Structure 1
Amino acid sequence: MDSQLVCSEIIAKSSIAFGTSGARGLVKDFTINVNAAFALAFISAIENEFTFDTVAIAIDNRPSSYAVAQACAEALKQLKLNVVYYGVVPTPALAYKAMQDNMPCIMVTGSHIPFDRNGLKFYRPNGEITKADEQAILTSKAIFTALPENLEELTLDTTASESYIHRYISLFSADTLKGKKIGIYEHSSAGRDIYKALFERLGAEVISLGRSDEFVPIDTEAVSEEDKQRALDWSSEYRFDAIFSTDGDGDRPLIADENGCWLRGDILGLLCSQLLNIEAIATPVSCNTAIEKSASFKQVNRTKIGSPYVIAEFAKLAEQYSSVAGFEANGGYLLGSDVTYNGKLLKALPTRDALLPALILLAQPEHISELLLKLPQRFTASDRIQNFPSEKSLSLIELLKRDAQAFLLKIGYKESYEQDSTDGLRITLSSGDIVHLRPSGNAPELRCYAESKDEALSANLVLSALQVAKTIS
C-alpha cells in the first residue's frame, strides 16, 4: 500500500514558513513531498470557493525551481486536476494569465533571496491568497500519496508571456518610446526574454546588459554598491535615457534615470500613481512620506509590509473611490481597480508588477530626473544585516519599544520622537527624520529604512542604525 501523508504534518516538519509574500525556505527543505503538501494544501484551502479543473504553474531561473514545479504538478494529478506549465515567466505574467482564465496558480520563486533558498507564491483565481489562506494551507488535513523520486517532464506553454506582452503593447502606441535609448539589466530575471522585445516594439533603442547564467539575487530595496556603480558606468558609456531591471521573479522594478541613479521603489510608485490619476492608495508604513506630502491622492492608507496587507485595503478603498492602487518600497505596483489610460481600459492586476510603473514613467516626454524634482524632496534609504535571526530582531525591537533613547543617542539624535509599531518599529524624530527597524519576512535579516530631507543623511542614518543594532543585539 502506498504511503499516505497529511499535508499539515509534512509542512510543519519542513522548516518552510510564510513571509511577507509566499512560503520561503532553504532549497534542501523543498523536498518532493513537501512541495506536494504545499500544492495540495493550497487547493484544499480554496476549493470550496471556486470552480476550476486546471492549475497553472511557472518558475523563475533558480536551479532548483523546475524540480519544485514538477513535484507540485505531480501532486495535483492526485486531485484529477489538469496542469498548465508556463515555464520561466515573471510572476505578474503568470498571475495575469491565470486571472483571465479563472484558474488558480503557483509560482515557484524565491524572489530576491539567495539561490540556496526558494519559495512558493500562491494565487486564487481572483488574485493573491490572503493571510487567512496561508493559515488554511498550514493547517490543511488533506491526505496524499507520497510521490515517486522520478517525476514526469513538464510540457511548456508560452501563452502566459504572450498575454502579458499584449497587455502592455495594446495600452501604448508603437512609437511611445521612440527616440529613447534604454538599457535592460537582464541578469537572471524571469522576464529577461520578454523585456527587450517589448521595449523595442514600443519604439525604443534597447541594449541588453549583464545577462547571467548564474542566479543573481537582486534586492530592489537594498541595491548593492556593485550594481549602483554598474548603472553609473553603463549610463556614462551608452548615454541611456533609463536603465530597467527587476528582481528575480520580475515583480519588483528597478529603474535608473538618465544619470544612472537608481530610483527608490516607493518614489516610482508615487510617480506612476500620479500619472495614472489614481484616487486612493494603499501602501506600507515603510514607504516615503512624500506620498502624503504630494497631496496627489484623496486617500492614503498605510499597512503592514507585504502585498497581502496592501491588497486587503483595496476592498475598503473601492467602496468610496473609483481608482485604487498600491505599491511597496520595493517598487512592486499593484493595480487594485480597472483604470483608463490613453483612452484604453487597463484591467486590474492586484499583485506586484514591475512593467506597469516602468512603462508609465518611460512614456513621459520629460527626463526622469525632471519628474523627480516635481516631488516633495524626501529621501529614503534602506539596507539590511544578513544572517540575523528573526528572534534577535524581535528582541531588539521589543527593547527599543520600551525605551529608544539610548539607541537614538548612539546614532546622533537627542530630540523627542514618536513610535509606530504597525510593522516592526518606526521612529519619527521631531526634526522629521525617520528610522524604521523590522525583521525580514522572507529571510533571516534585520532591515532598516530611513527617511530625511537630505539624501546623504538618510543613507548615513541607515548605516549608523544597523551598526548600533549589532552592538545592542
Structure 2
Amino acid sequence: MMTIQQLQNGSDIRGIAITTEEWQANLTQIEANRIAQGVFAWFKTKGLAHNDTVKIAIGHDSRLSATELKTGIIEGFLNEKVEIVDVQLATTPAMFMATQFEEIGADIGIMITASHLPFYYNGIKLFTKNGGAEHDDIEEILTIAATKEVSVGTEGSVEKQDLIPLYAADLVAKIQAKTEEEKPLTGFHLIVDAGNGAGGFFATQVLETLGADTTGSQFLDPDGSFPNHMPNPDNKEAMESIQAAVLKEQADMGIIFDTDVDRAAVVDATGQVINRNNLIAVLATMVLEENPGSTIVTNSPTSSHLKDFIELLGGRQVRYLCGYRNVINKAIDLNKENVETPLAIETSGHAAFKENYFLDDGAYVIAKILMLLPKLRSQGQTIGDLIGQLKQPVEAQEVRFRILADDDRAEGQRVIDALSEFVKMTPGMTEDPETDEGIRVNVHDEFGSGWFLLRLSLHEPLLVLQVENDEAVKNHQVFSALEKFFIEQKELNADKLTAVIQAK
C-alpha cells in the first residue's frame, strides 16, 4: 500500500487525484488535509513565522480535482491560528509572488497543480518568502504528515482575494518600464495558446493592455479535462497546434504555456518553433547582451551546438543535473562563488532569472521577450533571427530503457559505469569530461559527427538515451554499435532500442 511519503516528486508533491480504470487515487482530500498539517508544523520548526498568525495563500490551476484538494488543505490549516487567502485560479509563479506582493503578504504560498501531467493527476507546490521548497523540505513535511490524523479545525479564517490581476499588472509595469512606452506592443499580432490551463489571462490582462492584437488566441478558457491538447511546451502536438495558429493568422508570434504557467515557448512569424535548445539560445542571447561574459546553467541533455553558440556570444555554459530545482540551485551557488550567472534553464522550458528571484516563471520569460520585440521590429528582425547562428542537428532521437531491477537507481548507475568502459574500447567514441549527469559521449569517424547521453530518469525507473548527429543516417550506426552493449544488460528492457534499429 502506498504511503503518503511516496507522494514526493523531487521538490513537489504529486499523485493520482482522480480514480480511473487504470489508477487508484492516492492524493485526495484526506491526504491534502494531513499534508497541510505537515506544512504548518514544518513552517513553525523552521522559524519562518514573523507573526503569531500565519498568512497562507492558496491557488490552483484548472485541474478537475483542485476544489477537493483545496478543501482538504484549508481544513487541515484551520487547526491552527492562520489567515487563509483563497486566490482561486492562479499560476505557480504568481503563488510565489503572493509572498512578495504587499497586497497579499502571504507567509506561505500553496499551488495546487501537476503541471502538464494527465487530468487525473494533481499535486502541491510550496513557497515561502525565501523561495520554493527543496527536496529535503518536502521529505520532512510528508514525514510529519504521515503522523497526522484527518482533522477539521476552526481556529483560522478564510477570505477570497484576486491574485492574477496583481500579477498581470506587475508584468505590464515591468515591460512598460523596460520599453519606456505605455503600449509598446501596438501594431503587433500575438497569439496565446493556454492549453485550457491557467494562462489565459495573459492574452487579455497583459498583451491587450500593452496594445497587442490577440485575435486567433486559443484554448484560453480553463478546462481541466484538457480537451484540445496537453498544455506542455515540450510536447510535439502542442507546439504544432500553436505553430498552425500563427501561420493561419499570419501573426507576429505565438506564445504557449503549460498548465500552471511556470514554462513557456514561442513560435515566430515564419513558424519556427522556439522551445528546448532554441529557447535557451534566445534567452542566452538576451542575458549575454545584458551581462557580457556571464555563465548560463542548463540541464545535461542540451545540444553540443548550444554550447558552441553560447561561447560564440562570449558566454559560458554549465551543463548540470536535470530537475528545475537542481539547475536553479546550481546557478545560485555559482553566484555565491562570484561567478555571474543570470539564467538557469532546462530544455523542458523551466527558466529562472537571477533578476526575478530565480523563480521559474513562464510568463516572465515571455515578458523578457516582449521587452525586446519593439527593438527587433525597428531592426527588421523577428525573435527567430536571434538564433540564426545556432546550428541544428540533422538527427535527434531518444530511447528509454525500463530498469527491471528492484534497486533501479543502483542498477542504472552500474549500467552507466559499464558503458564508460565500453566507450573506452570503441574507436569513434570519446567520453566528454564536462558532464555532471550520467555519461556523455562525443562520436566521430564512422559514427558521423555528434554525441549521445545516457542518464537516469529523474523520477521513473528508466535510463534515457539521447543521440544527436550532424550527418544523416549516422544515428543508426550509433544505435547499432550500442545495441551490442545494451543486449548484455539483463536488468534492462531494450525493446525500444531494437524497434528503433529495425525501423530504418
Q: TM-score, structure 2 length as denominator?
A: 0.75
Shift of 1:165: 1.1
CA distance in 2 between counterparts of 1:459 and 1:69 reads 50
Q: Tell me how far apart the structure 2 counterparts of residues 390 and 86 of structure 1 sit (CA, whole Å).
A: 45
Secondary structure in 2 aligned to 1:115? Answer: coil
Alignment-mate amino acid for residue 12 of structure 2: G
Q: What RMSD, in angstroms, separates the aligned Cα atoms of the two structures?
A: 4.0
The structure-2 alpha-carbon separation of the partners of 1:31 and 1:235, relative to structure 1 and needing over 3 Å to count, comes to: closer
**Per-residue Cα deviation, 1:361-420 (whole angstroms, up to 9, x for no partner):** 2433121221120445568957676999896975566435413798999xxx97213167
Residue identity in the other structure for 1:249:
D
Deviation at 1:71, TM superposition (A): 0.9
Name the residue aligned to 2:172.
169
Q: Bigger CA drift: 179-188 or 442-451?
A: 442-451
Contact 1:435 1:451 in 2 (8 A): yes
For 1:355-394, what aligned pairs fall within 5 Å after superposition? 355-362=363-370, 363-364=372-373, 365=376, 366-375=381-390, 377=392, 394=409
Q: Match of 2:13, as an amino acid?
A: A
Contact 1:265 1:332 in 2 (8 A): no
Q: Which residue of 2 aligns with 1:84?
A: 85
Q: Which residue identity is paired with 1:354? A: G
Whether 2:217 is the aligned partner of 1:208: answer yes
Q: How does 1:305-454 map to 2 (within 5 A)?
A: 305-319=322-336, 320-321=338-339, 324-336=342-354, 338=355, 348-362=356-370, 363-364=372-373, 365=376, 366-375=381-390, 377=392, 394=409, 395=411, 398-403=414-419, 415-418=428-431, 422-430=436-444, 433-438=450-455, 440-441=457-458, 447-453=464-470
Asked if 2 retains the 8 angstrom alpha-carbon contact of 1:382 and 1:447, the reply is no
Change (3 A) 1:399 1:385: closer
Q: How does 1:199-278 map to 2 (within 5 A)?
A: 199-206=207-214, 207-211=216-220, 213=223, 214-215=225-226, 216-221=229-234, 223-224=235-236, 226-276=237-287, 277-278=290-291
Distance 1:32 1:235, change over 3 A: closer
CA contact (8 A) 1:304 1:422 kept: yes
- Tell me the CA shift for residue 326 of structure 1: 1.0
Aligned to 1:106: 110
3-state DSSP of counterpart to 1:171: helix
**SS of the residue 1:87 aligns to:** strand
- CA distance in 1 between partners of 2:280 and 2:146 (Å): 40
Of structures 1 and 2, the larger Rg is shown by: 2
Q: 1:356 offset after TM fit, Å?
A: 2.2
CA contact (8 A) 2:232 2:238 kept: no
Give 1:63 shift. Answer: 0.3
Query: Which one-letter code corresponds to 2:335 in the other structure?
Result: A
Query: Which position in structure 2 is the counterpart of 1:341?
Result: none
Of structures 1 and 2, the one with the larger relative CO (CA 8 A, separation 6+) is 1
CA distance in 1, matches of 2:348, 2:398: 12
- Structure 1's 429 and 138: CA in aligned 2 closer, same or farther, altered over 3 A? farther
CA distance in 2, matches of 1:254, 1:426: 26
> Would you say the 8 A contact 1:231–1:260 is kept in 2?
no
Q: C-alpha displacement at 1:128, in angstroms?
A: 0.9
The count of corresponding residues between Structure 1 and Structure 2 is: 445
Asked if 2 retains the 8 angstrom alpha-carbon contact of 1:334 and 1:350, the reply is yes
Corresponding position: 1:122 with 2:126: yes
From 17, 24, 38, the counterpart of 2:14: 24
8 A contact 1:23–1:119 mirrored in 2: yes
Q: Which position in structure 2 is the counterpart of 1:40?
A: 37
Q: CA–CA distance in 2 between the matches of 1:388 and 1:88? A: 39
Kindly indicate whether the alpha-carbon contact (under 8 Å) linking 1:384 and 1:445 is maintained by their aligned counterparts in 2.
no
1:134 to 129, 133, 138: 138
The 1:249/1:300 distance shift into structure 2, 3 A limit, reads same
Alpha-carbon deviation of 1:269? Answer: 3.2
